[in-house]
Every structure is written in C-alpha cells, then in structure tokens.
Structure 1
Amino acid sequence: MPVTTIDTTTALVLIDLQNAIVVRPATPYTGAEVVARAVELADAFRDHSAPVVLVRVTAAAPGRTEIPRPPGPLPAGWDVIVDDLAGHPGDITVTKRSWGAFYGTDLDLQLRRRGVTQVVLAGIATSIGVESTARAAYEHGYNVTLVTDAMTDLNVQAHRNSVERIFPLLGESATTAEVIDLLAKTRA
C-alpha cells in the first residue's frame, strides 16, 4: 500500500549505514545511492525538527549459523556511521548487536520519550536489518513506512521478497520523494 500520511510525531530510522556495509556489493541500488537518499531524508527530517535515528551494528551476538562469520577481528572503523550522515548533534545513535534495532537497545524508549507514533525506515540490508526492525516496530505498535528506494540488499530476490511480500503486511511503502513531500505537507 502506498504511503498515505506522515504522522506529526514521526522519526526517521536509518539502518546500518556504516563504513564497511555501504561499500559491499548490493542490489537493486548501490550503497552510495542508498546513502544519498538517506541524506535527503535525514536533511528533510532535521529541517522539520523530526527525530533522526542512526542505527549501527557492532560485534554480532554469538551463535551458530550455517554461514560462518569471517575469522579474526574486524577492521578498525568498520562500524562507524558514514560521514555523510554523522555529526549532527540532535540525531539519536543506537548501537545494536543483532539484526533488528529494537532488541537489546533503547530505541523504543528513545522513540516513546519523544511521543513518536510512526517510524520511516531505510538502510541496508532490506531483508536483514531493515525487515527485522520493521517487524519489531510493527509489533511495538508503531505505524511503519518503508522507503523502498533508500534500501538495498545483498540479494535481489531477498530484497523483492521483503518489499513485495513482507512489507505490505507491516506498513506502507514509499519513495524518498514521496516521504519528503508528505513530510513537508504535514509540517506546513
């Protein structure tokens, strides 16, 4: 369902737009394209005094998986938010250790303190961090808007599955331009 409205208390939540993630091969958009759209969104939210949340993932939680994690320590700075988005004093930074941004973090507390009723989600990867966060946001009772041209994945089929089958069950979808336009109308 296309986006119908932006609540007056909406927050932008950007998932894992950090140095080592945005440079990985991705589809259908490059990491650079996602960052550029995320910057547009963040600027618009900041201009309208709406919260911007930058979520970063750091060391993963332990557990066995069929796809092994790379051996050895991760390079220094891999988990730093990209420069294009970092450095805005009013932004909220959330550090997670799992796929979703709600589990084991203070994201829900940060949003509730500000009276947020809707989250607008974008980032990398669509079927992992973004989808996990969207599911939890829905379960926490937030209105969810997914900015499908400001997210990308490691696999195009996984991206499509999230966008076409999962996201319509969790909220509304929009483009960057649609969200910015609705935000301007809501805040006018």
Structure 2
Amino acid sequence: MTDFAFNPARTALINVDLQACFIEGSPLASPDGLELVPRINRLAAICREAGILVVHTRGWMRPDGSNLGVMGELVPPFIVALYTEGAEAAELHPAVDVDDRDVVVNKPRYGAFHGTDLEMVLRNRGVDTVIVSGIATNVCCDTTAREAAQRDFRVFFLSDGTATKEMAGVPADELQRATCASLSMVFAQVLTMDEMIGKIQAAPLPVDSAAGIPATAGR
C-alpha cells in the first residue's frame, strides 16, 4: 500500500464544492452533507494550525451560459442553475468555516484544476501534496484527485471526508466504496479522516525561520 511522505509546509487541503446545493435542499445534495461539514471544519482548523493551505472550490458557471460547453448538453438547465454565479445555492454553505487565509477557487468543470489557476497557486506556494475532501466523492472529488495525480501532486483522498448520493440506481455507499477502491490503486493514498489527522499531528511543527523555533510553540 502507498504511504506517501508528508510535509505540512508542502501540502494543501482542497475542500471540494461544499456549496449549499450539494449539502442540503436540492436534488444534488448528499444525504450526509450536513454531517460532513463539521468534520471537514475540524480538519481545516487542524490544517491551518499546521501551516497547511486550505482551499475551497465552487462549481461556478457564468450566468449567460458562455462557459457551459458540452456540459450544457449533458446536464439539465435547472441543475446547472443551482451552481451558476449569483444563485444562493452556488455559494459555500454557511456552516463551512472559511478563514481569511484560505483560498477560494471558482471552477467551470468537475475537476478543480481544469480552467482555473489552482495549479499556479499551489506551485507558487511550493505545494506538491494535496488532501481531497468534499462532495461528490465520485464526481468532483474523484476528478480533482485524478487531475492532481496526473500533474504529479501526491494525493491523500479521505474515505469519510467525502460524500455522495445515489446515482442512476446505484446506492451512495457502493459509489463511495468503488471510487475509493479505484483511486487507491493508481491515483491516491486513501485514508480516513482520523488517519489523516494523525499524519498531520505526527509531523514536525513548522519553524519560524526568524526566531528559529516552532511557529506554534507556546500556543
């Protein structure tokens, strides 16, 4: 089994599409969405403390439909409207903790790298490792993890830090299990939330280069 080396200073947490429409009150919402948010908030707080960049992505289509492309042929207009700029459902859910230090990325496709400046943001910060959490496991989270791996980022994918819903008659738990199995073969190291937190907490504290002491010493 893959066991990636871990350096918090070179890592980013990517919280995929924790938008209102994917968490509650819409046909896209995961039944576990509301339960997932506090777990991700806890992880994000631990990441910030460890010096890990936190990124939040949003599916974000233009109101005039000019960046829809083939997606407009695949997805019904009433669904696209839920994650179109200006829609309340497209905003990050109010229960999601967003810090001033975090980065928000608006994306026009399922993966967080396609058509965005996410890779540039990460490379400029020296990031070579990402942790993927969010919704939906088998769509935007899976696509983001695969895109990251193909760009030579090390990927940690959270089996209980992602969630999905029933699709085309296949239950959510089967989609969750199948996605994690596929990713674990060639794209990512799949961990539970607790296992990921253990890795973070076992890593050396970041050092304040000016003072020569751990940056969080004395907290």
| Gap change, CA 1:71 and 1:48, over 3 Å in 2 | closer
Structure with more contact order per residue of length (Cα contacts < 8 Å, sep ≥ 6): 1
Q: Give the residue type in structure 1 aligned to 2:30.
A: A
Deviation at 1:169, TM superposition (A): 1.5
Greater Rg over alpha carbons, structure: 2
| Residue deviations 1:95-151 (CA, integer Å, cap 9, x gap) | 001100000001000100110010000110011100100110001100000011011
Match of 2:181 in 1: 164
Deviation at 1:79, TM superposition (A): 1.2
Q: Measure the CA separation in 2 of the matches of 1:90 and 1:164.
A: 33
Structure 2 contact 11–53 (Cα < 8 Å) conserved: yes
Q: Give the residue type in structure 1 aligned to 2:110.
A: W
TM-score, normalised relative to structure 1: 0.89
| Gap change, CA 1:180 and 1:127, over 3 Å in 2 | same
Match of 1:7 in 2: 7
| Gap change, CA 1:140 and 1:68, over 3 Å in 2 | same
Q: Measure the CA separation in 1 of the matches of 2:130 and 2:75.
A: 31
| Gap change, CA 1:65 and 1:111, over 3 Å in 2 | same
Q: Give the residue type in structure 2 aligned to 1:168.
A: M
Count matched residues.
186
1:8-47 pair list within 5 angstroms: 8=8, 9-23=10-24, 24-26=28-30, 30-47=32-49
Q: Measure the CA separation in 2 of the matches of 1:182 and 1:133.
A: 22
Q: Measure the CA separation in 2 of the matches of 1:162 and 1:70.
A: 27
Deviation at 1:86, TM superposition (A): 4.2
Deviation at 1:5, TM superposition (A): 4.0
Match of 1:180 in 2: 197
**Structure 2 regions of 5+ residues with no counterpart?**
62-66, 167-171, 206-219
| Residue deviations 1:150-179 (CA, integer Å, cap 9, x gap) | 111123232222111234310101111111
Q: Give the residue type in structure 1 aligned to 2:140.
A: G
TM-score, normalised relative to structure 2: 0.77
- State the secondary structure of the residue aligned to 2:78: coil
- State the secondary structure of the residue aligned to 2:106: strand
Which segment drifts farther, 148-157 or 132-141?
Answer: 148-157
Q: Measure the CA separation in 1 of the matches of 2:52 and 2:100.
A: 13
Q: Give the residue type in structure 2 aligned to 1:77.
A: E
